[in-house]
């Protein structure tokens, strides 16, 4: 075709995107609506003028688009000193009632965190962003919103509440009436409303690259109603830092509800008691022997619907408010996990209130391969305990136990009763920590431009993984974290030569999730031809992976030391 690739200096991913589009342009009708017909010219026009992966072709100009919100782009963002602007948008809609109550109860904490962050870092000169937020899980499920007041799951509601608050304090959110309008924009792979590179998806449990890649997932029977979106995996924002392939968004652990209530909580005396983590009857089933063992050492309390049958020695307070839960935690020594629910906010709330957490091990680890709960999740991540993030915190705050081993449970209880711990909360789960993290993500994380690099390339540290080790494991072994944004910088023989890897021969492939990789015995390198298949979490039985790692700030794992 008379449509040669333009100079690609600074556009390292353009060729990969072109190759991908040649085979994938029929996967969504919106590509053809933008004029893509399979030809190189049409693909280059799309990748340069609709998305920003390639330079504009000579002689063509990017058409100017009328933007009714152009004022937002030039307005300087100011850290706000109130959340009141959110009230009219939330208080009269039943789906947002719980979210509204949480936001209002935490206003003083958010405002103070904004002031504190501003005092530590220069937050001037930021441009206000227009960010559309669509909490579909809330909007589409009135029942879920109502259940929040009667013992229903709160994790996602907590995360949406804190994201909305964060964006509002940072002056980067638009009115609620646009939330629903955004829903029509995200069903298509190439968006008719916004380019897909601008999308971020809140994803509680994480989406791994092979589930995200539509063709790969279909070819390998990786079925999930939430997969096959063909996004860059770091466009998925998770509740905990499950995998570096996704971006850790997080939420805020609320140690108290107001200054007045906190003063009351501080006056509470800790007793020889434990609070059981479980608001539903099914969480308590088949746990009697485990609870009997704990009851030998501690008085047990619960917050379960009072119609539920639980052991008679448990003092049941029924479904209570957040303030009452914090009060119970402040007077308890132990927060007792029952192995479910997985990865909720409550264990971190317990630690923030000075209460040790009994974290049940899961034998074998639970995943989408063996657990009904995880069956439809777009990953095969193995969950080794009820709360893997807390597991990593470890003793003296978190004690791993085998619920079916009385000796193991008693060992942990004796150790806990012979210690005193102070309240502990990782910075990344504070209001200030979340504001810092989200502010930098908004300012620096850009999937719509192929120029520049974030995290900064100066943070790159290259590690050669052992055979059968993932990059996640190899980086962790060195006290680092795998950084998928750096994979393209290692994806050539010339690049690897800088790190002592001699590729006598090499090839490109889109048939593996472990590339770039090195076959040491024959000095052969294999490079990734599909950028959506870079993965931190997969390993190979006979190849050494070449891994892009970076450092991280203690208790702020999403950010490298040079990121701030």
Confidence at residue 273, expressed as pLDDT on a 0 to 100 scale: 97
Confidence at residue 182, expressed as pLDDT on a 0 to 100 scale: 37
CA 379 – CA 65 distance, rounded (Å): 38
Confidence at residue 244, expressed as pLDDT on a 0 to 100 scale: 97
Structure tokens at 190: 């190439």
Please work out, in degrees rounded to the nearest 5, the angle formed at the alpha carbon of residue 382 by the alpha carbons of 376 and 385.
110
Stretch(es) of the chain classified as CATH 3.40.50.2000 = 260-424
Cis ω for the linkage preceding 396 (within 30 of 0) = yes
Residue 493 CB coordination number (10 Å): 15
CA 189 – CA 287 distance, rounded (Å): 45
Those residues whose C-beta lies under 8 Å from the C-beta of residue 409, and which sit 6 or more positions away, are 290, 293, 294, 358, 401, 402, 403
Residues of the chain with pLDDT under 70: 1-2, 4-13, 52, 59, 61-74, 137, 139-146, 150-153, 174-195, 255-266, 450-452
Structure tokens at 24: 């994938």
The CATH code for residues 260-424 is 3.40.50.2000
CA 281 – CA 286 distance, rounded (Å): 11
pTM surpassing 0.95? no
Confidence at residue 268, expressed as pLDDT on a 0 to 100 scale: 78
CA 317 – CA 324 distance, rounded (Å): 9
Confidence at residue 450, expressed as pLDDT on a 0 to 100 scale: 64
DSSP assigned state of 484: G
Alpha-carbon distances of 276 from 300, 316, 350, 386, 394, rounded to whole Å:
7, 10, 11, 14, 19
Give the chain's radius of gyration (CA, Å): 25
**482, β-bridge pairs:** 549
Q: Whose CA is closest to 543, among 511, 460, 529?
A: 511
Q: Is 139 exposed, middle or buried (0-12, 13-18, 19+ CB in 10 A)?
A: middle
Q: Phi/psi at 462 (nearest 5 deg)?
A: -95, 130
**336, β-bridge pairs:** 276, 358
């Amino acid at each position: 075709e008379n449509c040669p690739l333009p100079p690609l200096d600074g556009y390292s991913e353009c060729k990969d995107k072109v190759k991908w589009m040649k085979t994938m342009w029929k996967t969504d009708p919106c590509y053809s609506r933008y004029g893509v017909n399979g030809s190189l010219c049409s693909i280059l026009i799309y990748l340069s003028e609709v998305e920003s992966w390639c330079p504009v072709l000579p002689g063509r100009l990017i058409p100017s688009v009328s933007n009714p919100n152009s004022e937002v782009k030039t307005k300087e963002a100011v850290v706000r000193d109130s959340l009141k602007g959110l009230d009219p948008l939330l208080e009269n809609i039943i789906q947002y009632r719980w979210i509204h109550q949480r936001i209002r109860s935490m206003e003083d904490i958010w405002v103070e965190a904004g002031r504190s962050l501003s005092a530590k870092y220069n937050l001037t000169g930021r441009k206000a962003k227009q960010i559309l937020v669509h909490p579909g899980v809330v909007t589409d499920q009135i029942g879920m919103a109502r259940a929040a007041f009667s013992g229903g799951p709160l994790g996602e509601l907590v995360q949406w509440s804190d994201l909305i608050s964060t964006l509002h304090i940072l002056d980067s959110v638009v009115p609620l009436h646009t939330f629903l309008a955004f829903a029509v924009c995200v069903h298509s792979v190439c968006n008719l409303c916004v380019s897909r590179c601008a999308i971020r998806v809140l994803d509680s449990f994480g989406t791994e690259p092979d589930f995200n890649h539509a063709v790969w997932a279909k070819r390998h029977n990786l079925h999930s109603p939430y997969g096959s979106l063909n996004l860059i995996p770091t466009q998925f924002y998770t509740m905990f830092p499950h995998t570096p392939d996704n971006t850790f968004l997080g939420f805020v652990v609320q140690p108290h509800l107001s200054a007045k209530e906190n003063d009351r909580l501080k006056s509470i005396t800790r007793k020889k008691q434990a609070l059981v983590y479980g608001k539903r009857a099914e969480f308590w089933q088949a746990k009697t022997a485990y609870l009997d063992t704990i009851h030998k050492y501690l008085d047990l309390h619960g917050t379960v619907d009072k119609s539920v049958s639980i052991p008679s020695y448990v003092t049941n307070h029924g479904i209570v408010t957040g303030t009452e839960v914090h009060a119970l935690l402040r007077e308890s020594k132990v927060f007792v996990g029952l192995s479910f629910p997985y990865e909720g906010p409550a264990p971190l709330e317990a630690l923030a209130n000075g209460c040790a957490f009994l974290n049940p091990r899961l034998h074998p680890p639970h995943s989408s391969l063996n657990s009904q709960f995880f069956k439809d999740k777009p990953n095969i991540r193995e969950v080794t305990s009820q709360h893997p993030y807390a597991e990593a915190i470890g003793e003296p705050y978190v004690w791993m136990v085998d619920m079916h081993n009385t000796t193991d449970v008693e060992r942990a209880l004796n150790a806990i009763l012979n210690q005193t711990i102070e309240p502990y909360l990782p910075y990344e789960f504070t209001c200030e920590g979340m504001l810092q993290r989200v502010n930098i993500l908004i300012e620096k994380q850009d999937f719509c431009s192929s120029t520049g690099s974030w995290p900064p390339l100066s943070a790159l540290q290259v590690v050669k993984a052992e055979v059968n080790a993932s990059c996640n494991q190899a980086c962790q072994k060195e006290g680092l974290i795998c950084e998928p944004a750096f994979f393209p910088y290692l994806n050539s023989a010339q690049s690897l030569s800088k790190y002592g890897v001699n590729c006598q021969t090499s090839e490109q492939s889109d048939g593996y999730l472990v590339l770039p990789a090195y076959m040491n015995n024959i000095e052969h390198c294999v490079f990734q031809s599909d950028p959506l298949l870079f993965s931190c979490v997969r390993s190979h039985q006979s190849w050494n992976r070449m891994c892009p790692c970076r450092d991280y700030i203690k208790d702020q794992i999403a950010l490298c030391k040079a990121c701030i």
